Chains A and B, each alone.
Chain A
């Protein structure tokens, strides 16, 4: 790792095609800053993205990366990390990607607690498919496929994470650049699954959950006496639907990552040029 890495080193020369003003710009810049600030460089960083406007993030960054199929970035990211624990792994995607088609993987990735960061660009809508309801859309949020709103309560991803045994649960706001980068950096540095739900407004299809809305309703936990290591306090914040919280909401300081627990510490790309020396023992077991 070189110490002179700048966050722009994580930028690819491909120009983003996001709508001007999309929250995803800020989200991405924050992730790049967090990576640089935590001492990574593109050659030891692996970014795994989902599908959606949010999923394009891997394309606009420079690192080892996979742009996978819809909803399945988390198992891919876990596979990368377990095969080479020396890498810094960041998974990213949208609220549809993570909490709808990928909801099963989300819960299991939280439980598995592989050491990586997961940033969800939550715009409370499907952007890429042009404005349908997402699992975080409000009950009465009218869209092309839900003219009267989904009429189902939105999922609370923070609560899902806490219930599944999450060891790091945070929320940030794409345009609070410095704060967002700080929070993501903490997620990267956490030993285990660092989950950050990022408010990343869609300026094209969502006229409810806008920058103004978040600015007006956001409470930065740094301005309160919230103690993220206090499980009950975290639970109260997570279940409080009257406000939108920014900051690290819960952090289990005794978290032990999956790799540590199972002793998966080797870079698996190094293998001998033939069968292992003692491989005939594998045959003899069948006597």
Chain B
């Protein structure tokens, strides 16, 4: 019996796939099981295949695997799309009365359960509940106590009145009973429950939550997949803390609004995806030159241009590291998991203010739109510390006035960090500009001052390297001579791939790098290894290139750029193949 259970519902956009999947995921989470969800969706609102997948186990799960145990198929295409993941004994739940399933073909060796979903739903109070009937059927197959579904249904429909909740419970039971009465297959599944309490959230929500925890009060953004959830999360919540969300007319406005708020002293953020980052590039330079603390979240998706808006990629690293004209000091932090989306956002705000720099949070679609269960303590708010850096007030400003009593917002300091005065501070009036400037912030083309200001801004990077703990997250066998490096959302799949590799007697050391700039020095780690593989979701190996540049050592690469995230079991195979290739050629 497999340790984990993989379930999916698929159909056409508009079939209620998302909400049904979410209900099931929540039911499992509330039953004390770990859950990891993933979504397949097309870039359209109605029509187009979409699926919501749930992997669940008693132990933590943090990636998808190449396996599907129970599939609720609302269309034939759902079966076709998932053929690779279905296996001998997989259960397919469908409604043979539905026109899209009239000529259904259940692949060899699989169990088809034809259930009149719509008819049973109508009996329970309305056809709209047919997906809930299917959920009840899935409970029967998975041996999952249906009472656990009740609380998720309550959460989902409670706002619509008790009658609706009751009807949904009835619909679920109709599905369950139908399976029990009409089919007598033996299923291998037994979804135990535990007393553990978990929360279930996605990366975008974790970013929004991190922002509020970190004292972010101003957010401006323009909707774009897959970053919109950040804005949706903050809307209606940030106000409780005296903050505000502006839906701007475009990304140019969004980053400029956020810049203005930051200059006024607010912790301020914008979030977007690749195309939006392109539009923000000019103002990004202004943010950096004016030394304004700002958090910019890039939830990467497949590029270039409009690319594949609903598909995974880590293709914007170069853009974040090098984008914009001229040379600009900027920090790039890259959360490696959904919980790290929270913590790295908190850190991004502190870094932005401590170093007075724009900080990119490099997230990606794979973690932004997928949900995972966590013990609530993972987000222990008592551990959130806010460091606003060198802010001066009416009393402490004296030290930073020049001989004429003028405030010096770009004072040349040893650590590269100048004082900051929020508007309203007496004697603090000053100019911020994208032009090269002197210590007062006034335009200059003086060659000496130009060099001094460039050096001053660059010095912050050295200060950060000396002060911040930039170490990677470490997994696997620390003594192995095989080293895997990766960044971003691949961490979960890699951690699980290590288990598969271990079963095959392959042990590796894995470093998941959360800081892209400034970054940790990996030279020693690389020198200690015989083989190094860099794993990332892009074609050109943007991180691998950076690693080679930093360490002057050639690395091997595993690149995936088909729009789909890594799966743990597939990745284990890829790693073995890459290592074997090394042995063959040796």
Contacts and interface: CB of A to CB of B under 8 A. Distances in A.
Interface of A: 12-14, 42-46, 48, 58-59, 62-69, 72, 74-84, 86-87, 104-105, 108, 262-264, 266-269, 271-276, 279-280, 282-284, 286-287
B475 interface: no
B434 A69 contact: yes
Contact of B248 (A12, A14, A75, A282): A75
B384 A268 contact: no
Contact of A279 (B220, B246, B381): B381
Interface stretch (B39-47, B420-428, B511-519, B565-573): B420-428
A108 B243 CA distance: 21
Interface stretch (B156-164, B205-213, B299-307, B532-540): B205-213
A76 B427 contact: no
Contact of B381 (A48, A80, A267, A275): A275
B212 A58 contact: no
B170 interface: no
Interface stretch (B64-72, B100-108, B193-201): B193-201
B442 interface: yes
Given A59-B443, A268-B264, A287-B30, 12 more contacts: A43-B428, A45-B429, A63-B429, A66-B433, A67-B433, A76-B263, A79-B259, A271-B386, A271-B388, A274-B386, A276-B241, A276-B381
A284 B201 CA distance: 11
A86 B422 CA distance: 12
Interface in B243-286: 243-244, 246, 248-250, 252-254, 256-268, 282-283, 285-286
A67 B432 contact: yes
Contacts of A76: 256-257, 259-260, 263
Contacts of A12: 431, 442
A271 B434 CA distance: 28
Given A65-B431, A274-B382, A287-B30, A82 B213 contact: no
B581 to A, nearest CB: 43
A105 to B, nearest CB: 6
B244 A264 contact: yes
A69 B282 contact: yes
B418 to A, nearest CB: 15
**Interface-central residue, A13, A14, A43, by most chain B CB under 10 Å:** A43
B261 A82 contact: yes
Contacts of B432: 65-67
A75 B257 contact: yes
Interface of B: 29-30, 197-201, 205, 209, 212-215, 217-218, 220, 237, 239, 241-244, 246, 248-250, 252-254, 256-268, 282-283, 285-286, 290, 376, 379, 381-382, 384-386, 388, 404, 422-435, 442-443
Contacts of A81: 260, 264
A20 to B, nearest CB: 20
B205 A42 contact: no
Contacts of A65: 429-432
A138 to B, nearest CB: 29
B230 to A, nearest CB: 14
A3 to B, nearest CB: 16
Given A43-B426, A59-B443, A268-B218, A79 B381 contact: no
Nearest to B442: A14
The 3 A-B pairs at the shortest CB distance, nearest first, are namely A79-B260, A269-B265, A268-B266
A72 B256 contact: yes
Nearest to B441: A65
Nearest to B425: A43
A44 B428 CA distance: 10
Given A268-B261, A279-B384, A286 B212 contact: no
A266 B239 CA distance: 10
Contacts of B218: 79, 82-83, 268
Contact of A83 (B30, B261, B382): B261
A48 B268 CA distance: 18
A276 B249 CA distance: 31
A80 B282 CA distance: 19
Given A83-B266, A272-B386, A77 B260 contact: yes
Contact of B264 (A58, A79, A262, A279): A79
Contacts of A77: 260
Nearest to B213: A275
A230 to B, nearest CB: 30
B426 A272 contact: no
Nearest to B423: A64
Contacts of B265: 83-84, 267-269
Contacts of B220: 75, 79
B24 to A, nearest CB: 15
B201 A286 contact: yes
B78 to A, nearest CB: 28
A16 to B, nearest CB: 12
B246 A271 contact: no
A284 B259 CA distance: 32
